[in-house]
Amino acid sequence: MGTSQAVGYTAALALAIAALYLILGLLRMGWVSTFLSKAVMAGFILGFSIGIIIDQSSKLFGLEAASGSYAKGLWETLGNLPDTSLTTLAVAAVRSSCSWSCSCRRWSAERWPGGTGPWAGEDGPERATRRATTCDSPR
C-alpha cells in the first residue's frame, strides 16, 4: 500500500468515526461509557497526555518537529536540545507559569472559600477570593 492510499484510508476512517460519534451523541448513548472501568479510562487519558507532551515538546523548545512515531519524535527532540531557541523557551515558560498561577488560585479558592488560603495575602479575604475566581487567560 502506498502513502497516497494510506492517507485516503486514514481520512475515510476519521470521517467514519466522526459520523459514528455524531450518531451516538444524537441517540444519547453516553451511558455506554459507564461500562468502562476507571482504570481503563485513566490509562487512556494518561497515554493520550503522554502523546501530547511528546508531540508538543519540540515546539516548546523551538525545534523542528520530528515526523514518525512518538519514540522517534522524543529521541529527535532530546538529540536537538542543544539547538533550543531561548526566546521560544522563555515565552513558553512565562505562559506556563501564568497558567499554573491561575490554576493554583482557582484551586485555592475552591479549597478555602473564605480566602484564607495561601493566596489570601494582606488585602483581605474578599479581594483574594475575587482575584482567584476571575483569573482567566486573555481571549
Q: What is the pLDDT of residue 71?
A: 87
pLDDT tens, residue by residue, 38-94: 888 788 889 889 988 888 888 888 888 877 888 888 898 899 889 888 898 899 888
Higher pLDDT, 108 or 123: 108
Q: Give residue for cell 479575604.
A: 125
Q: What is the pLDDT of residue 59?
A: 85
Contact call for residues 115 and 128 (beta carbons, < 8 A) = yes
What integer is the mean pLDDT of 89-108?
Answer: 78
The answer, yes or no, to whether residue 131 has pLDDT greater than 80, is no
What single-letter DSSP state applies at residue 61? T
Closest CA to 113 of 123, 103, 126: 126
Least confident of 20-29, 46-55, 126-135: 126-135
Distance CA 80, CA 63 (A): 7
Indicate the pLDDT class of residue 137, thresholds 50, 70 and 90: very low
137: left (phi over 0), alpha (psi -120 to 50) or beta: beta
Domain boundaries, the chain: 1-32, 33-133
